[in-house]
Amino acid sequence: MENGMENGMENGMENGMENGMENVTSMSRPRGARVLIVGAGIGGLTAGIALRRLGARVDIVERAPAFAPLGAGLTLQPNATAVLGALGVELRPEDVHPIGHVAMIGRDGRPLIEGEPDDEDIPHPSINIRRPDLHRALIEALGAPGVRLGRALRSLTPGPDGVDVEFEDGARGRWDLVIGADGVHSTVRACALGDAACATRYAGQTCWRFTAPAPEHVPVTTIERWSPGRRVGVVPLSRGGVYVYVVESAPAGTPGPGSADPSALRERFQGLDARLDALLRLLERDPDARVHHGDLVDQPHLSYGRGRVLLLGDAAHAMTPNMGQGAAMAIEDAAALALSWRETSPSELATRLRELRRARVAVVHKQSWRIGQVAHWRGPLRCWLRDALLRSVPARSLERGMRATWAPGIELAERLRDVMPPRADARPAA
Ligand SMILES: Cc1cc2nc3c(=O)[nH]c(=O)nc-3n(C[C@H](O)[C@H](O)[C@H](O)COP(=O)(O)OP(=O)(O)OC[C@H]3O[C@@H](n4cnc5c(N)ncnc54)[C@H](O)[C@@H]3O)c2cc1C
């Protein structure tokens, strides 16, 4: 991310900690409560924007010393863009590309499922975007004070009046509420729930992803091509860009880091898809090219935390990416948190969020896992049956399914619009 932005975000913390340690009396009313958000990913930033607009005093800390591009591209469906819109997050038109026509393609090159998102009557777009562009929009919407970069939470101790926090650099503080938005390997989760509640589940699949400027290769249709034990996705981005992901069934931790080298990747997936071949050849010639590689895991034990320690986003319910809904669920969590904020005390917010969100997230979480497993099936008969079944699904049922996935988020966004003060009033409470 650009330097100017980084500098703008380096402001210190204002509320729970000044000169080391400050004693903060617990607030009975959430409106004046002091909140620490741990992690400035999509979930943490969205929660920060929402709570600040409601008058909360929010500090955000981020372990990374600078905002490096966190991954490659991302799709956001109407349930996510509706919430971002309600919060006044402005995505620049030049950063977004409509999802448009999408096709899941079988090994034989024929579509298994295809169509466009049926969203013409929905005033919230389905988009593809580069992660750094989304991040920049969130940071701009957050405003000042920005994120305290290079500060990692080490431990926390919840008490009846607040949560005492210690950071890796030795700093300490106390807040009325701590929100763990620190991702799938959440330290906040480990501190609040214990290590046993933190074990992730490996999907048996490992994933490489990259974006590339490739105007002559931008596909008209977003494709995901299935092959036994393998998948490739090619997604159009704005400004002549392409987002690519490749997934392979593999034992956990294999192959090693060298596999993310573009030429090693091209060799590995030679012949899987002509578009992938061409894009990897382009990448080989780009000195700035970066391929991200990681195993796909989820967090099977969904939890929104306990008492004054709340979890959201991947820290609460990391899911596999097969529905393209992980970030959207983090964004929805932030909306639900904001809607509960005024009538719920800090010590009851985690329980309230669980009531509001768990069932909704569990459905998406489970469906995402299943799709990923089915996509990698091997065995000719099994694959033939799967493909025949998918091809027989009427387009209307697919549309209904997508709308059902979006509806709860759109509804949250509509309620959020009703409680959000106009942006000019968005000042932290004195
Ligand atoms: C391959 C892949 C593709 C995906 N595609 C999509 C998609 O198309 N659409 C979609 O909606 N979702 C998608 N997702 C899911 C999405 O990326 C995540 O759900 C989302 O980024 C989670 O956001 P988060 O803020 O909860 O966590 P994160 O993005 O992980 O952010 C956590 C932050 O906390 C920081 N942190 C960690 N520990 C500490 C600490 N101790 N102290 C301070 N800071 C800390 C980290 O540095 C990080 O910045 C995809 C995921 C993967 C793996």
Q: Write down all domains in the chain, each with its CATH number in brackets.
A: 3-70+145-200+299-376+407-425 (3.50.50.60), 201-298 (3.30.9.30)
pLDDT band at 116 (very low <50, low <70, confident <90, very high): confident
Q: Which two tokens stand for residue 150?
A: 């290079």
Q: What is the mean pLDDT of the chain?
A: 90
pTM of the model: 0.93
Q: Which of these, 357, 338, 335, 347, lies nearest to 81 by C-alpha position?
A: 335
Task: Please name every residue paired with 29 in a beta bridge, in sequence order, or none if there are none.
Answer: none
Q: What is the pLDDT of residues 297-345, one digit of tens each?
A: 999 999 999 999 999 999 999 999 999 999 999 999 999 999 999 999 9
For residues 422-426, give the mean pLDDT: 58
Residue among 6, 61, 74, 127 whose CB has most ligand 1 atoms within 8 A, to mutate: 74
Q: Which two tokens stand for residue 138?
A: 């969130």
CA 247 to chain centre: 18
Q: What is the pLDDT of residues 159-171, one digit of tens each?
A: 999 999 999 999 9
Task: Please name every residue paired with 241 in a beta bridge, in sequence order, or none if there are none.
Answer: 213, 237
With pLDDT > 70 as the criterion, what percentage of the chain qualifies?
90
User: In sequence order, which residues have a C-beta less than 8 Å from that of residue 285 and are 6 or more positions away?
Assistant: none
Whole-number Å distance, alpha carbon 71 to ligand 1 midpoint, is 9
Pocket lining: 209 vs ligand 1, CB cutoff 6 Å? yes
Contact (CB, 8 A) for 237 and 131: no
Q: Cα separation of 412 and 418, whole Å?
A: 10
Contact (CB, 8 A) for 15 and 164: no
Residue 14: the pLDDT is 58
Residue indicated by tokens 């060799």: 267
Pocket lining: 153 vs ligand 1, CB cutoff 6 Å? yes
Q: Which residue has the higher pLDDT, 424 or 53?
A: 53
Angle at 64 between CA 61 and CA 66, to 5 degrees: 100
Neighbours of 307 (CB within 10 A): 18
Which atom of ligand 1 has the smallest separation from the CA of 75? 8
Q: Which of these, 172, 168, 176, lies nearest to 149 by C-alpha position?
A: 168
Element (H, E) at 208: strand 201-213
Q: What is the pLDDT of residues 237-292, one digit of tens each?
A: 999 999 999 999 999 998 987 899 999 999 999 999 999 999 999 999 988 889 99
Q: Cα separation of 31 and 188, whole Å?
A: 23
Contact (CB, 8 A) for 353 and 304: yes
Neighbours of 233 (CB within 10 A): 23
Residue 382: the pLDDT is 96
Q: Cα separation of 187 and 196, whole Å?
A: 12
Pocket lining: 321 vs ligand 1, CB cutoff 6 Å? yes
Residue 69: the pLDDT is 62
pLDDT band at 352 (very low <50, low <70, confident <90, very high): very high
Q: What is the pLDDT of residues 29-59, one digit of tens each?
A: 566 789 999 999 999 999 999 999 999 999 9
Residue 117: the pLDDT is 74
Residue 280: the pLDDT is 96
Residue indicated by tokens 């008058």: 55
Contact (CB, 8 A) for 374 and 226: no
Q: Cα separation of 347 and 268, whole Å?
A: 51
Pocket lining: 188 vs ligand 1, CB cutoff 6 Å? no
Above 90 in pLDDT, residue 142?
Answer: yes
Which atom of ligand 1 has the smallest separation from the CA of 325? 11
Pocket lining: 78 vs ligand 1, CB cutoff 6 Å? no
The DSSP code sequence of 238-284 is TTTEEEEEEEEE--TT-S-GGGGSHHHHHHHTTTS-HHHHHHHHHHH
Q: What are phi and psi for residue 17, nearest 5 degrees?
A: -140, 125
Contact (CB, 8 A) for 375 and 230: no
Residue indicated by tokens 């904020």: 341
Whole-number Å distance, alpha carbon 226 to ligand 1 midpoint, is 25
Whole-number Å distance, alpha carbon 70 to ligand 1 midpoint, is 8
Residue 13: the pLDDT is 60
Please confirm whether the linkage preceding 93 is cis (ω < 30° from 0).
no
Pocket lining: 51 vs ligand 1, CB cutoff 6 Å? no
Residue 320: the pLDDT is 98
Residue 289: the pLDDT is 86
Amino acid letter, residue 138:
L
Above 80 in pLDDT, residue 106?
Answer: yes
Sign of CA dihedral 332, 44, 48, 126: negative
Above 70 in pLDDT, residue 25?
Answer: no
Whole-number Å distance, alpha carbon 178 to ligand 1 midpoint, is 18
For residue 214, the 8-state DSSP code is: -
Residue 258: the pLDDT is 87
Q: What are phi and psi for residue 229, nearest 5 degrees?
A: 75, 5
Q: Which two tokens stand for residue 402?
A: 């997508």
Above 80 in pLDDT, residue 1?
Answer: no
CA 430 to chain centre: 32
Above 80 in pLDDT, residue 411?
Answer: yes
Residue 18: the pLDDT is 44
Q: Which residue has the higher pLDDT, 119 or 285?
A: 285
Q: What is the pLDDT of residues 358-390, one digit of tens each?
A: 999 999 999 999 999 999 999 999 999 999 999
